[in-house]
Structure 1
Amino acid sequence: MTTYPVLIHTAIDARDCRGLAEFYRELLGLHYRDRDKPPTDGGPDDANWIVLLDDNGDRVVTIQQKVDTAPPTWPSEAVPMQMHMDFKVATHEELERHRQRAEELGARLLHDRTHEQDAPLYVLADPAGHPFCLLV
């Protein structure tokens, strides 16, 4: 028994559950829990709770669907963000590579702070509009 609760995953709301799950699966090199894999028989994909696992089989991200809230509008606070995730990379070259990959997967750049030597980072929005940071 541990003294403190243990975080098992981050749950993200989405209107397009499979689309957002695919974005984070590709971006972070994750895989689906067996029962959450997309259908291969041509049937409808009505998943509304998808768990993505790392190579150790640990939960990392859960995508949950059918949320009728507006996406965050960061940096404007018209629709504030409720959370964001930070992803660390080893080098400035990796930062550039992963920013490009994220954009190819459907992210959009919100803020470029790579000119700051002590804390270079990008703020991007995932396809559902949730901000996240890539930083060295």
Structure 2
Amino acid sequence: MGAVPTLGVVAIDCPDPVALAEFYRAVLDWGAPDVSDDGHWVTLPNPAGGAGIAFQRVPDYRPPAWPSADNPQQMHLDLEVTDMEAAHARVLDLGAKLLDDKPKGFRVYADPVGHPFCLCAC
């Protein structure tokens, strides 16, 4: 490894790492997550070899409020799609909640524990 780091995972706080990993596994159509022995840390490896997503259990988790400065989103994922209507129906069926469909080229959703994410057809 050199002095320049590479991105390994993006870690997301949540109340149930296994459940949230399963949601994103279904959304992204990735393989099975790697679950720690105690279930407090779950990694969803990227099958293409890039950065994955990790989920960590946080006691007394409070979801972000979008849009709000009181409990800000702190981060979100942009997921690129080529068929917005099909992707929209799919994520809603998997448990996402639509937050905003007004912006041109993308839509904002909340995952099952409240983290915002966008479907982008930009």
Q: Does 1:126 align with 2:111?
A: yes
Aligned residues: 121
Question: What is residue 72 of structure 2 aligned with on the other side?
Answer: 80
TM-score (norm 2): 0.86
CA deviation after TM superposition for structure 1 residue 58, in Å: 4.9
CA deviations over 1:17-40 (Å, ceiling 9, x no partner): 11101100100011235x529xxx
Question: What is residue 29 of structure 1 aligned with on the other side?
Answer: 29
Seq. identity, %: 41
8 Å Cα contact 2:106/2:118 also seen in 1:
yes
Amino acid in the other structure paired with 2:68: S
For the residue of structure 2 that corresponds to 1:32, the secondary structure is: coil
Structure 1 distance, partners of 2:38, 2:44, is 16
CA deviations over 1:31-57 (Å, ceiling 9, x no partner): 235x529xxxxxxx9511111123245
Amino acid in the other structure paired with 1:106: G
8 Å Cα contact 2:25/2:44 also seen in 1:
yes
Amino acid in the other structure paired with 2:13: D
Unpaired runs of 5+ in structure 1? 38-44
CA deviations over 1:48-84 (Å, ceiling 9, x no partner): 1111123245551111113423101101222111111
Structure 2 distance, partners of 1:4, 1:65, is 29
Label 1:97 to 1:134 Cα distance change in 2 as closer, same or farther (>3 A).
same
Q: In structure 2, which of residues 78, 91, 95 is the aligned counterpart of residue 102 of structure 1?
A: 91
Unpaired runs of 5+ in structure 2? none
Label 1:127 to 1:15 Cα distance change in 2 as closer, same or farther (>3 A).
same
Question: What is residue 62 of structure 1 aligned with on the other side?
Answer: 54
TM-score (norm 1): 0.78
8 Å Cα contact 1:86/1:133 also seen in 2:
yes
CA deviation after TM superposition for structure 1 residue 8, in Å: 0.6
Q: 4+ residue stretches of structure 1 with deviation over 6 A?
A: none
